[in-house]
Amino acid sequence: MKYYLLKNLFILIAVFAFLFGNANEGEDIFKATCAACHTIGKGRLVGPDLKNITEKRSPDWLVTFIQSSQTVIKRGDADAVAIYKEYSNLLMPDNALSTTQANAVIKYIKAASSGSSSGDSQAAATDFLENATQKDIDEGVLLFGGEKRLTNGGASCISCHSVKDDRVFSSGTLAKELTETYGAMGSAGVSAIIRSSPFPAMNETYKNNPLTEEEVFALTAYLKSVNDNRFYQIPVDFGFTFAFFGIAVFVMILLATIVLYFKRKTKSVYHEIHSRQTAAIN
Ligand code: HEC
Ligand code: HEC
């Protein structure tokens, strides 16, 4: 009897989940995978404002573009190539979405378009860094280079990224070099990506160790300063320094061994006894 009730309860929950879960599916996907780069009616971020995009492009075009923008661009589609050039060849990552999911997102964008304010929607979203100071930049240097731990314990940016900046010892080559990223995306775009990254490898790192809003701010301010100062940096080139010190230390150890153990026995004890005895015989 108990099981019977439990089973009904499950069916009820499943039905609710289907009805309400699905209604928000498009919005959920948009917020999780698109919002770092796009707004609907709030201006351009990394990519264009998507307000009223459903009036400009056909549903088929949108589905393919959302799933794999490069496929459409490589096909030579005029609209896609134009928008790609306009965003200075900035790549929109592929999304592993089914056609149904892509359509749900498109439906959400359409619904949200009618609700948002009109006006010049391709103007850049407001400057996120308005009140940034040198102190924020300095904080960003420490966080980026891992000299200061992130509050929630996420990996430091330098473990994957590098920048052209004398203040940090660049090492990360797992992901993109970030020196000019700010120039391409602006404060809204960069901060959105740091806050909630659309890139799986990076997202995975911070999913359970999210950055605080202050950290996002400091890191964005830092990446701006890196971009602004990129022409004044003299990349530290160690050249042969490491090899030179290696050889020098090796030679020093050799010399030290010779000097310190000058009186060491070089032959076996047996050899000495042998020569003493043979000397006596002769
Ligand atoms: C990393 C940033 C980024 C993410 C994440 C992203 N996009 Fe884009 N998107 C861009 C850029 C940049 C462009 C400009 C075209 C290009 O460079 O390919 C673009 C272009 C578009 C366009 C074409 C707009 C036009 O005017 O034709 C659509 C539609 C679009 N994105 C939808 C989406 C949807 C839906 C998602 C989420 C599933 C998404 N994008 C996720 C960066 C992104
Ligand atoms: C586990 C590795 C990893 C870590 C740690 C990481 N990222 Fe990323 N990040 C990536 C990957 C992968 C991309 C996608 C671009 C690429 O393929 O290199 C990316 C992209 C970005 C971009 C967009 C670059 C562009 O031009 O498209 C920014 C900005 C960025 N990361 C900032 C940061 C900051 C700031 C931190 C430190 C809080 C950080 N990342 C930590 C892996 C990482």
Q: What is the CATH number of the domain that holds 165?
A: 1.10.760.10
Cβ of 157 below 6 Å from ligand 2: yes
Cβ of 219 below 6 Å from ligand 2: yes
In a domain, 28, yes or no: yes
Domain range for 94: 2-115
In a domain, 190, yes or no: yes
In a domain, 124, yes or no: no
For residue 217, the ligand closest to its alpha carbon is 2
Across 83-95, average pLDDT: 84
The number of domains in the chain is 3
pLDDT for the residue numbered 198? 83
152 has a pLDDT exceeding 60: yes
Q: How confident is the model at residue 114 (pLDDT cuts 50, 70, 90)?
A: confident
Which residue lies with its CA nearest to atom 10 of ligand 2? 202
Q: Which of 213, 232, 251 is the last residue of a domain?
A: 232
Say whether both 13 and 55 belong to one domain: yes
Cβ of 58 below 6 Å from ligand 2: no
151 has a pLDDT exceeding 90: yes
In a domain, 67, yes or no: yes
Across 170-194, average pLDDT: 84
For residue 44, the ligand closest to its alpha carbon is 1
Q: How confident is the model at residue 14 (pLDDT cuts 50, 70, 90)?
A: low
Say whether both 223 and 264 belong to one domain: no
Ligand 2 centroid, distance to 119 Cα (angstroms) = 33
Atom of ligand 2 nearest to the CA of 204: 1
pLDDT for the residue numbered 209? 92
Q: How confident is the model at residue 178 (pLDDT cuts 50, 70, 90)?
A: very high
Ligand 2 centroid, distance to 174 Cα (angstroms) = 9
| Residue % of the chain over a pLDDT of 70 | 84
Say whether both 212 and 267 belong to one domain: no
Cβ of 171 below 6 Å from ligand 2: no
Q: Which of 115, 148, 177 is the last residue of a domain?
A: 115
Selected residue with higher pLDDT from 141 and 22: 141
Check: CB of residue 22 under 8 Å from CB of residue 14.
no
Say whether both 155 and 109 belong to one domain: no
Selected residue with higher pLDDT from 71 and 9: 71
Q: How confident is the model at residue 88 (pLDDT cuts 50, 70, 90)?
A: confident
For residue 34, the ligand closest to its alpha carbon is 1
In a domain, 127, yes or no: no
In a domain, 123, yes or no: no
Q: Probe ligand 2: pick from 147, 176, 214, max atoms within 8 Å of CB?
A: 176
Ligand 1 centroid, distance to 96 Cα (angstroms) = 14
- Summarised one tens digit per residue, pLDDT across range 154-164 is 999 999 998 88
Which range, of 10-24, 34-48, 156-170, 221-235, averages the lowest pLDDT? 10-24
Say whether both 111 and 142 belong to one domain: no
Cβ of 87 below 6 Å from ligand 2: no
Ligand 1 centroid, distance to 141 Cα (angstroms) = 30
